[in-house]
C-alpha cells in the first residue's frame, strides 16, 4: 500500500507555461494520503503552492537542499557556500545569468539556460567541484552534490514515520531520478525525460497535470492507495 505521494511541480502538475492543470488539482484533493511536493523551486514558492493545493506544509524544495517538516520547521540539508564558490568559478568561464529568485533561495543557485550546460558540467567534473549542474528544462541549478530529491525524501519519510518504499513518486525530470530510486512505486507523465520513463513503473499517456491525474486514477483503480 502507498501511504504518501511525492510529486514534482513544474512539468508534472503544471504545463510548460507553469499553469496548474485543473485535473491535477482535483486529483490531489481527492487523495486520502498526504502529498509531499518536491521541487527545484524555492521554499516560499513551494509553501504557497502547498497552501493553494491544500497539501501539508511537508515538502522538499531546492532539489533536496531545503526540507519543510511543518509550518514552523525548515531544515537546511545543503551547504550554500559550495554552490556560491562553484558559481564564482564557473562565471569566469561561462556567461551565467542568475534568475531573480536568487534572493529567496537558501542553498542552490538557479541559472537561465543561456550557456553550454554540457560543457559547464564537464568543467565541474574536471575541477572536482563539489556540486552538480542540474538541468530541469525550466532552469539550470548549481546544487550541493551531497543532496537531491532522494535525500530530501528520506528526511521527510523518517520524520513522518514511514519508509521511502511506502511512497509513490511522480515526476517528469532527471532531477526526480533520485527519489524514483527509493520510492515503492514510480510513475512519470508523458512529457517526462526518457531516462525517467525508463525507470518508471507506469508512464502516463497524458502529459503534464493531466498525466498526473491519470496516474492517480491508475493507482486508485489498483487499490494501491
Query: Quick one: DSSP state of residue 135?
Result: E
How far apart (Å, rounded) are the C-alpha atoms in residues 38 and 119? Answer: 27
| Predicted model pTM | 0.95
The pLDDT tens digits for 123-167 are 999 999 999 999 988 899 999 999 999 999 999 999 999 999 999
Work out the angle at residue 36's Cα, subtended by the Cα atoms of residues 35 and 40, and round it to the nearest 5 degrees. Answer: 140
- Span 78-103, mean pLDDT? 95
* CA–CA distance, 63 with 222 (Å, rounded to integer): 30
Element of type H or E holding 169: strand 167-171
Query: pLDDT (tens digit, 9 = 90+) per residue, 155-175?
Result: 999 999 999 999 999 999 999
- Which of 8, 10, 148, 176 is labelled catalytic? 8
8 and 42 both lie in a single domain: yes
The total number of structural domains that make up the chain: 2
User: Is residue 8 flagged as an active site residue?
Assistant: yes
* Enclosing domain of residue 68: 4-76+147-221
Claim to verify: residue 156 and residue 111 sit in the same structural domain: no
The residue among 163, 143, 121 whose CA lies nearest residue 62 is: 143
Per-residue pLDDT tens over the stretch 9-43? 999 999 989 999 999 999 999 999 999 999 999 99
For the chain, the average pLDDT equals 97
Residues 68 and 22 in one domain: yes
Q: Using pLDDT thresholds of 50, 70 and 90, give the confidence band for residue 122.
A: very high
Domain stops at, among 111, 129, 144: 144
**Which residue, among 25, 21, 70, has the nearest Cα to 207 in the 3D structure?**
21
Q: How far is CA 124 from the centre of its chain?
A: 22
Q: What integer pLDDT is reported at residue 195 of this predicted model?
A: 97
Residue 160 DSSP one-character state: H
Amino acid at each position: 500500500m502507498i501511504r504518501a505521494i511525492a510529486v514534482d511541480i513544474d512539468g508534472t502538475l503544471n504545463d510548460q507555461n507553469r499553469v496548474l492543470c485543473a485535473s491535477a488539482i482535483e486529483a490531489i484533493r481527492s487523495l486520502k494520503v498526504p502529498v509531499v511536493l518536491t521541487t527545484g523551486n524555492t521554499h516560499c514558492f513551494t509553501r504557497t503552492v502547498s497552501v493553494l493545493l491544500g497539501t501539508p506544509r511537508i515538502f522538499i524544495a531546492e532539489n533536496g537542499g531545503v526540507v519543510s517538516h511543518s509550518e514552523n520547521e525548515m531544515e537546511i540539508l545543503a551547504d550554500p557556500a559550495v554552490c556560491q564558490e562553484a558559481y564564482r568559478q564557473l562565471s569566469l568561464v561561462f556567461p551565467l545569468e542568475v534568475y531573480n529568485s536568487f534572493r529567496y533561495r537558501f542553498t542552490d543557485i538557479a541559472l537561465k539556460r543561456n550557456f553550454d550546460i554540457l560543457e559547464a558540467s564537464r568543467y565541474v567534473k574536471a575541477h572536482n567541484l563539489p556540486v552538480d549542474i542540474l538541468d530541469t528544462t525550466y532552469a539550470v541549478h548549481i546544487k550541493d552534490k551531497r543532496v537531491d530529491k532522494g535525500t530530501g525524501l528520506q528526511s521527510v519519510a523518517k520524520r513522518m514515520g514511514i519508509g521511502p518504499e511506502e511512497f509513490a513518486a511522480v515526476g517528469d525530470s532527471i532531477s526526480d531520478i533520485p527519489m524514483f530510486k527509493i520510492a515503492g512505486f514510480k510513475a512519470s507523465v508523458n512529457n517526462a525525460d526518457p531516462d525517467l520513463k525508463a525507470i518508471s513503473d507506469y508512464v502516463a499517456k497524458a502529459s503534464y497535470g493531466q498525466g498526473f491525474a491519470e496516474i492517480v486514477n491508475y493507482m486508485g483503480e489498483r487499490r494501491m492507495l
